Structure 1
Amino acid sequence: AGRAVARVERFDPSSNRWEQAAQMGTARYGLTAVALAGKVYAVGGHTGRGAVNVVEVFDASANRWESAPAMATARAFLATAAVGGKVYALGGRDTGGDAVDVTEVFDPSTNRWESAPKMSMGRYFLAAAAVGGRVYALGGLDRGHSYLSTVEVFDPVTVHGGKAHRSLPVLPGAASIPG
């Protein structure tokens, strides 16, 4: 098990140094973070007592965290990506330790989370990326705790007009995408 922390550090490229930022309101580990419109969204995680649905938003210019509406599903070890002005939270592991197939979407303009089509399988410790208006869910572990080499793509445009999630060819190995 991890150790829940609220401490946050940020890197200042002009001084080439890390500095302490304001602490989050909820100490946790296994959370995910994504940047959108100049803010950082810290989503989900585990407090040491269980998975949480907590969402906090960091305003770097004010060095301040604010609470945002909670997700419907408490989970840790999930992934997030931002596309089309919205935050997408994918997969994760619930308090019981099960991998979940849930996708939720946060719209800052309405300050609400909504359900989106589920992935084809539960996965946690996955990675997510937004490219070309689509959200990709890569790898992770499945409900049986086996490593996944599959990729699913979520297209927000086709949510109401067809299958929103589809699988892509199996990954041949691990990869890192900087930038």
Structure 2
Amino acid sequence: MKPALLTALLLVAVSVAVGQPGPRAPERLAWEQAGALAAPRAYATAVTLVTGEILVVGGLDKDDPKVTSVTSELFDPLTGHARVLDQRLPGRVNHAAVAGAGGRVAIIGGSVWIGDGWAITDRVDVYLPYEHRWKEGQPMLHGRTGVRATALKDGRIFVTGGYDGPRLIKTSEIYDPMSDHWSEASPMIEPRGDFSIAALDDGRVLVAGGLFGRESIPAVSSLYYDAQRDRWSPGPDLLSPRVLQSQAKLPNGDVLLIGGQHAASNTAERYDARRGVFEYAGTLAVPRMVADAAALPDGRAIVTGGLVVTAGPVSFDPSARTELWDPATNRWREVAPVSSGRAFARLISTADGIYQVSGVALGEQAQARVERFVWH
């Protein structure tokens, strides 16, 4: 071959190689240290503020003589630092924290430690993010613990079900954080607790699974609440009864229910908001309950932690294993685990990652460490 022809062929080969993209780097899916809370907390609530900070409220530490935490704190994802707010609140667990109109966050109901036992509270506290302070709100119409609540499209906060002690209840009420006013809403068809609740994109509220009725039976049923008409109606049945499941609202409006107690512990199902039905959403590698779940912006979802469900008694040894669900394949796969297992934690989604806050670790130890799940 002539030298000139060989040179030309080499130049063509090099230009083709340069023009083609190289092998795609594998996606990094990992947990990383993101900071710490000012104090360990178990069973706390956490919610993202309009300022971008994460508000953490309540919870308990079994090694603290006060039992429940009377402080609240702001965690800054940018710095990894937490700041304890000056005002003190009644320490509580099993409460709800919901952001409503004006970015105001309502801390609703729950259980408070009085003397040597727990009591149900109707107390409401409202955080004003632009004024950086708390104010006490009007009490609920019905005190409750195991509170289930969600924000409606108009910024009001809908509360339903839960417990008034050992009994399930069916009462419902709506709170307006701007006017600080509660109004009675239609009760559920039957008493229910420990269920999933999600505000759908069409304005209705979906209630799914949990325990229902006087006998506290695991529910396969779901309900819709229409706030405009103040009316409940039956929803589609789940594929399996679910109690103590985790959930994630997906970007397309669907709702993913994951794990739970008993037979449903190793499966997931997805509420298809367009068709109004529940569909199978894969099998988990780790059967789990009281785990933590969150959606990624691209429609995938993760679940982590929780208590592993086995054939025998459930031990309090939370799992550190993390799984990722992909809607394209409708399958779960294991990814990097979190540094230590915890149950009853809170996953908070932000633009730069999913933050794990609070939780109960091995030996029922409260947690201060904050970790962040990243993907890129």
Global fold match (TM > 0.5) = yes
Of the structure 1 ranges 92-101 and 106-115, higher mean CA displacement relative to structure 2 is found in: 92-101
| 1:148, distance to aligned residue in structure 2 (A) | 2.0
Q: Matches of residues 6-85 of structure 1 in structure 2 within 5 Å?
A: 6-37=122-153, 38-83=155-200, 84-85=202-203
Which of the residues 182, 187, 210 maps onto 1:92? 210
Q: Does 1:157 align with 2:274?
A: yes
The equivalent residue for 2:304 is 174
Runs of 4+ in structure 1 deviating by more than 6 angstroms, as ranges, are none
Q: Matches of residues 102-117 of structure 1 in structure 2 within 5 Å?
A: 102-117=221-236
1: CA distance, partners of 2:215 / 2:119: 18
1: CA distance, partners of 2:209 / 2:126: 26
Amino acid aligned to 1:91: G
2: CA distance, partners of 1:50 / 1:69: 19
Classify the secondary structure of the residue corresponding to 2:217: coil
The equivalent residue for 2:256 is 136
TM-score by length of 1: 0.84
CA distance 1:129–1:68, change in 2 (3 Å): farther
| 1:127, distance to aligned residue in structure 2 (A) | 3.1
2: CA distance, partners of 1:68 / 1:158: 27
Classify the secondary structure of the residue corresponding to 1:178: strand
| 1:171, distance to aligned residue in structure 2 (A) | 4.2
2: CA distance, partners of 1:141 / 1:3: 26
TM-score by length of 2: 0.42
1: CA distance, partners of 2:255 / 2:181: 28
1: CA distance, partners of 2:122 / 2:245: 23
Q: Deviations over 1:52-88 (max 9, x none)?
A: 1111100111101111111112111112101111111
Which of the residues 135, 148, 153 maps onto 2:265? 148
Q: Does 1:124 align with 2:295?
A: no
Q: Which has the higher strand share?
A: 2
Contact 1:31–1:78 (8 Å) recurs in 2: no
1: CA distance, partners of 2:156 / 2:247: 18
Aligned residues: 172
Q: Deviations over 1:111-159 (max 9, x none)?
A: 21110111112222223333212122233323x7xx8243211113223
1: CA distance, partners of 2:259 / 2:126: 28
Report percent identity of matched pairs: 24
1: CA distance, partners of 2:259 / 2:131: 36
Q: Which has the higher helix share?
A: 2
Amino acid aligned to 1:114: S
Q: Does 1:101 align with 2:217?
A: no
Contact 2:126–2:177 (8 Å) recurs in 1: no
Unaligned runs of 5+ in 2: 1-110, 112-117, 286-302, 306-346, 351-376
Contact 1:8–1:23 (8 Å) recurs in 2: yes
Contact 1:3–1:29 (8 Å) recurs in 2: no
Classify the secondary structure of the residue corresponding to 2:151: strand
2: CA distance, partners of 1:49 / 1:125: 17
